């Protein structure tokens, strides 16, 4: 089946910008949060997710709200039947429409 492109909002980490705004190195932030420097590097590259306790520590350290950690940017993704199955029968555009109806 041919793939089609749909526009979606993808998360983009703001952690690096917030960390630099507090004049912290990745190593310093890692110590404050209780994770490895590699974990901070991954979060800044949108790799991996922080657990809630770490998110709270991150927000406290960076003096920000949870919603400040993530910025959604426009992106295009290719969708096929396999992708549709991974989203439990919904296309990404269907999920976006649901989100718009239920803020």
Per-residue pLDDT at 81: 58
pTM, entire model: 0.49
Task: Judge whether 94 lies within some domain.
Answer: no
Interval 27-85: pLDDT, tens: 999 888 888 999 899 888 878 765 667 888 888 899 999 888 877 777 776 666 555 44
Residue 102 scores a pLDDT above 70:
no
State the Cα torsion 56-60-61-66 to the nearest 10°: 60
Task: Judge whether 95 lies within some domain.
Answer: no
Choose among 22, 19, 51, 52: nearest CA to 37.
19
Domain that includes residue 52, residue range: 7-77
Which H/E stretch holds residue 87?
A: none
Choose among 55, 60, 91, 57: nearest CA to 70.
55
49 within 8 A of 2, measured Cβ to Cβ: no
Q: Which CATH number characterizes residue 24's domain?
A: 1.10.260.40
Task: Judge whether 14 lies within some domain.
Answer: yes
């Amino acid at each position: 089946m041919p793939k089609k492109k749909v526009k979606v909002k993808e998360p983009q980490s703001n952690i690096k910008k917030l960390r630099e705004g507090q004049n912290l190195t990745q190593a310093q932030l890692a110590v404050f949060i209780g994770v490895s420097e590699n974990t901070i590097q991954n979060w800044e590259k949108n790799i991996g997710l922080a657990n809630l306790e770490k998110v709270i520590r991150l927000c406290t350290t960076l003096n920000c709200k949870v919603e400040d950690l993530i910025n959604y940017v426009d992106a295009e993704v290719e969708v096929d039947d396999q992708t549709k199955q991974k989203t439990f029968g919904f296309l990404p555009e269907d999920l976006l429409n649901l989100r718009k109806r239920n803020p």
